[in-house]
Each structure stands twice: as structure tokens, then as C-alpha cells.
Structure 1
């Protein structure tokens, strides 16, 4: 970790004419945004136009995939009787959050990539950063509640509290309230939203050395990253342990009885629940893979680690937004009943395959033969 000179550069402009012969990223800053830009970014020349174009194209592609994919998830889960269960309200909430993330972030990013700086003024900077932070928070806590639901069904079983419409609705309202409070706070004086990197995006202020923004970032990451990560890991640790113990017991019993399998309808249900847990775990893992690099970028600024560049920052921010693409892809590949209904309502979205008759009938008629299927 190199700290020499980093702190000084936060409060100083260009250090040599040769180094900045081609100007800096601050050259394009509009007058109404100048007071929000940290002088640290003046160290760097403007990012190559080609990269702005590549980022713009990449952002457009993930916007289309995410909006279409998450829109289909909301439409199918919300409009199909067999999928419209209390537990799946959390899935709908996750998809709606991801849809909103891309709808509020991508068009603004594309406009600013075209102009190669933030041109929409301070208010839109606040709006953009608030929406990005809020929908990211809603997504991760929705995933946390999904993990708890899997834990409740698989680990606790009949002794667990059953998920109801009322309970799911209360959880969703709690998530939205929690996220709104955290993301409105910077507009009320605890930290602030500012342009970052090559100044085509806005985020929480992680470059200022004052205790006010630093305390916010530390507290925010604790409650919106580390806490849900811990709770999710806790849930899946016990889920994996329970499924493994059950499978081991079944194999040993079958061996003693000299039969190939002892699977009953209850065991099939348990297996279905385990598959759903794998779907949720995959989604969550990909979310953390997308957002962790951006958290590292924020900590670079927080702890004065030299080496933070506009190029790395804007790619980190863009990849973090791409987490909104994950949900529909994972469910489209791994969720059997979702694929069945999707094929029925949008045949061009699913490759040709023969659906199991029982599953097709369940999806068509709203039949919920087992708790596992109802939670699918």
C-alpha cells in the first residue's frame, strides 16, 4: 500500500506540464458540477474516446438484456398462479429492483459516455447515485430474505415459520424502507453524492478525507454488504449441511436394505428444495462477484491506497450494474417451471425441449402438489 503523495494529490492540481500536456479529465467538467469534483481526478488525462464508446455499447447491451429478462421474470412469476406464492414475492421484488436499476442507470450512463463527462447537473447526479445505491441495497437484502426462506424450509422444515403473503409483504416493505433511509441520508448531510472516475457517473463520496463521508461509507458497507453476506453464508452453511446429512442418511439406509433408492414424495420434495437453493445461491454468488470489485475501489479511496484510476473506477461501476443481468439468466437456465411457463408465453425465448407432462400440467392449471413446487 503506497500512501505517499496520495493525500497531497487530493488537494492539488496538475504536478507538471509534461504529465498533463493532453489535459485532464476535469477539462470537460461543466461549471455547475465543478464544486463536486475531487481534485484527485485532475491527475489523469482524459480517457480515450474509444473506451467511452465501448462502455456505452456494453451498457446498452446489458440494459436491453436486463430490462427484457427481469421484465419477463416479473410478468411470469406475477401472472402465473402456480408461481405466485408468498416466497416468490421476494423473487419478484428482486427482479423489479434489478429492472429499476438498469432503467434508472443505463440511459444516463450512455448519455454521459457520449459527452465524456457528466452533463446532467447536480440534481441528476444525486438521483442517479441514489437510485444505484438504493436498488443495489434492495437486491442484496431481497437475496438475503430468499436465503432465509430456503433455510427455513430446508433446515427447520415443519418447525419453521411458514412464509405467508403478509410476512413476505412485511419483509419487502422493510427492505424498501431500509434502503430508502440509507440512500437518502447523503442528501441530508451525512456524506454526499459526487462524480467519480472519468466523471461520467456519480456515486457516494469515497475520496474526501473528512470523517463525515468516511464514517458513512464504513457504516454503509457494514449494513449493506458485510451483514447480508454474513447472513447469507450462515444460511447456506446450514442448508448444505442439512442436504448433505439427508443424502448420506438415505444412501446408508438404502445400502442396509439392499435397494437402489428409498426416495419417496417427501424426499423428492426435499431434492426440489435443494435445487431451488442452488439457484438462489448462484444468483447471490454472481451478485457479490459483480459488486465486490466496486467495494474494493471505494476502499482504495477510503484508505488512501495509491493506484486508483478513472479507467478502473468506471469499469468497476459499470460491472457492478451488470449484476442486474444475472437474475433472469440464472432463473431462465435453472428454474424448470419458469422455463415451462416462459415457453408457453414467449416460445422464442426458450430452446425447443419436451417439458415433463406433470410439470406442464402444474404450470398450466396452477396445481401445487408439493410445497417444493409451490415455492418454485
Structure 2
């Protein structure tokens, strides 16, 4: 729904108001249903979607963490970053998706301004940890497989340092809106909260914060992922060419190529809509846009709590086998004899 002008309150929210509406309070996303933005069916459809992300995302990531606790063989330093990713995904699904479900079901942000800031911060923190974890996974694969540092061995201390790195950088990205550089407000259909990338309020310097996020939390991780996985593919293609008669090498090369494509596509599906829409809004101030469309980027980013573990964990033979065993479904192969081969394959060709 396009609107003719933007009216904003200084601290808690902004709302695009139709030209014939003068009572700002009557449209507050913290007080009344936002039926002026979309019909009830759209809100309820979003509530169903958020409930799906909450239940499935929470289940998958809790299962991943529980499986790692139960099976000592999964607690290798090469899997630390995958568990770190699961923790970040769990934060997004439990806080962001559950809050979104409750708000969309009520058709407004029922929890109030303070909860909006908390939710915006927590989801941004979890999202940034997830995003940087994907970059660190790519970097780790590059170090282990392509061996750019020669005989350098990736040790547990290195893995823990990488996990700490993701949280430090995530805090650097998510804390500023709490202290005046941008702010956390309801976004899209006003039922979930995130950084303010809509308004031009000079008090908050929103434009500079958006560009900071685009460069620091999108362009740099994406560049890292593309570089590392492209080097990985080159290395594997050279190995496949050198062993052209080896069926297993050719198969591994094809499997990893497919996996790399999935990883890069997953990253782009998660973050490209958010980054591109935010940058478009910043560079096209005054242009009307549909707030229902502004909700889509947030939905894609929250969905990463489901498809990230599917790509990075369920496609890992070692994790998949242990999860199936924990669920009583068996692994289809002898667990002890297959574990070493799975770890070896992961170290050679990536996530499996």
C-alpha cells in the first residue's frame, strides 16, 4: 500500500500515513491493529509463516545442539562453528520468529516499545552471528582443503577464536542502534522490529548505519564466501583432472560443486533482499514503496534459521548419521565404521 507522506514519532516508530489522516496515535503499531497496511488475511498468513519458522527452526537447531552434546564424536573443533551457527539460528527463531508470530496474529506489535528494541537487537545479533559464521565456515574450508598456509593445522583454539570472532563482530554491528546510531523500530507491516532504514532523521544518522551494515556485514562476508569457495572449487577441479580415472574423485568434485552452489545461494536468499532493499530506500528517499514488500526481506532473513542447518548440518554425513540415530531412525550404515570416513571426507571435500 503506497502512501503520500511519511510522519514519524521521534523515538519509537514511524508510520506512513494516508493524506487524510492526522491522528498519529490512532495508528501506533504498539496500540492498535495495523489494518491500514494490509487486510487481516495477510497478517494471519504471515503469522502462520512465522509459526512454521519458529517450530521448525527451533526444533532443527535444538536437535543439532542436543546431538552434539550427546555424541562426543561430534565435538570436534571442525564442528564448533556449525554448533555456533545453530546457537545463532536458535536465537533468531526463538526471539524473532516467535515474537513475529504473536505480533502478526494480533496484527500489531503487542509487546510495546521496549520489547521492540530488545527483539530488534537480539534478532540482529543472532542474524549477524549467523552471517559471519557462514563466512568463517567458508574460510575454515579454504584453510583445511586448499592449504594456503602450507602445513598449518586448524586446531581447537583456532575454532574457538573463530566463534568468538563472530560474536564480537555481531555485537559491533547490532549494538549501535541502542546508543543512537540508527534505532530499532517496527518494520514492514509493523509486527517485527529491526534497524531503522526507512527514515532520514539526521538525529540517528540512519543512512550511514545502513551503508555500514551493507559494507561490513554483507559485502565483506559475501566476498569472503565467494573467494574461499571459488578457490575450493578450483582445487577440487585440479584434483579431479589429475585423477580423471578415479570415479570417487569425480563424484566428490560434483557433490562439492553442488554443495557450494547451495551455500552461496542460501546466503544470497537470506541477505540479498534485505541489503538491496535497504540500500534502495536509502538512495531513493521520498519514493513511495509498499510496506508489505518491506516485510519480505525480514522474512527471508528469519527463514535462514531453517535452511542454514539443512545445508550446513543435515548435509554433513557425520551430523546426519548421529541425528538419525538419536531419533531412533538408524543411520543406514554402521556408525562407528562410518564416522572416520565421514570425517575424512569432510576434511577433504567440505561439508559432505
TM-score range, shorter chain: 0.7 to 0.9
Q: Which moved more, 1:338-347 or 1:239-248?
A: 338-347
- In structure 2, stretches of 5+ residues that fail to align are 9-15
Structure 1 residue aligned with 2:299, among 313, 318, 339? 318
The partner residue of 1:237 within 227, 230, 234 is: 230
Question: Does structure 2 retain, via aligned residues, the 8 Å contact 1:146–1:280?
Answer: no
208-217 or 52-61, larger mean C-alpha shift: 208-217
Q: Is residue 136 from structure 1 mapped to residue 111 from structure 2 by the alignment?
A: no
SS in 2 for 1:76: helix
For 2:65, which of 62, 69, 74 is the aligned residue? 74
Instruction: State how 1:169-208 maps to structure 2 within 5 Å.
Output: 169-208=160-199
1:342 matched to 2:323? The reply is: yes
| Distance across 1 between alignment mates of 2:24 and 2:327 | 46
Q: Is the 8 A contact 1:273 1:372 kept in 2?
A: no
- Give SS of 1:159's match: coil
User: What is the 5 A alignment of 1:205-354?
Assistant: 205-210=196-201, 212-251=205-244, 254=245, 261=246, 275=255, 279=259, 282-304=262-284, 306-331=287-312, 334-347=315-328, 354=332
From the superposition, tell whether residues 16 and 145 of structure 1 become closer, same or farther in structure 2 (CA, over 3 Å).
closer
Change (3 A) 1:105 1:96: same
8 Å CA contact retained: 1:82, 1:367: no
C-alpha displacement at 1:53, in angstroms?
0.5
Question: How far 1:274 moved relative to its partner?
Answer: 8.2
Give TM-score, length-normalised by structure 1: 0.79
Quickly say closer, same or farther: Cα 1:24–1:249, change in 2 above 3 A. Answer: farther
The answer as to whether partners of 1:243 and 1:274 remain within 8 angstroms in 2 is no
CA contact under 8 A between 1:331 and 1:338: conserved in structure 2? no
For 2:150 and 2:6, the matched residues in 1 are separated by: 56
Is the alpha carbon distance of 1:176 and 1:27 closer, same or farther for their aligned partners in structure 2, counting shifts above 3 Å? same
Higher helix share: 1
Q: What is the CA distance between 1:286 and its match in structure 2?
A: 1.0
Cα distance in 1, alignment partners of residues 221 and 151 from structure 2:
21
Structure 2 distance, partners of 1:243, 1:343, is 29
TM-score in terms of structure 2 length? 0.84
Sort the Cα spacing of 1:158 and 1:222 in 2 relative to 1 into closer, same or farther, 3 A.
Answer: closer
Within the candidate set 1, 9, 17, 2:5 is matched to: 9
Moved more, 107-116 or 154-163: 154-163
CA distance, structure 2, for counterparts of residue 367 and residue 90 of structure 1: 19
Q: Give distance in 2, aligned partners of 1:320 and 1:120.
A: 21
Match status 1:104 vs 2:95: yes
Larger Rg: 1
Distance 2:342 2:189 in 1: 55
CA contact (8 A) 2:81 2:159 kept: yes
Q: What residue in structure 2 maps to residue 29 of structure 1?
A: 28
Match of 1:154 in 2: 145
Instruction: Give yes or no for contact 1:65–1:325 (8 Å, CA) kept in 2.
Output: yes
Contact 1:90 1:172 in 2 (8 A): yes
CA RMSD of aligned residues (A): 3.3
Q: Which residue of 1 aligns with 2:50?
A: 59
Do residues 121 (structure 1) and 121 (structure 2) align? no
Measured after TM superposition, the shift of residue 114 of structure 1 is 2.2
Task: Using CA pairs under 8 Å that are at least 6 residues apart, name the structure with larger relative contact order, 1 or 2.
Answer: 1
CA-to-aligned-CA distance 1:173-218 (integer Å, 9 cap, x gap): 1211121122111111111111222211111111222451111110
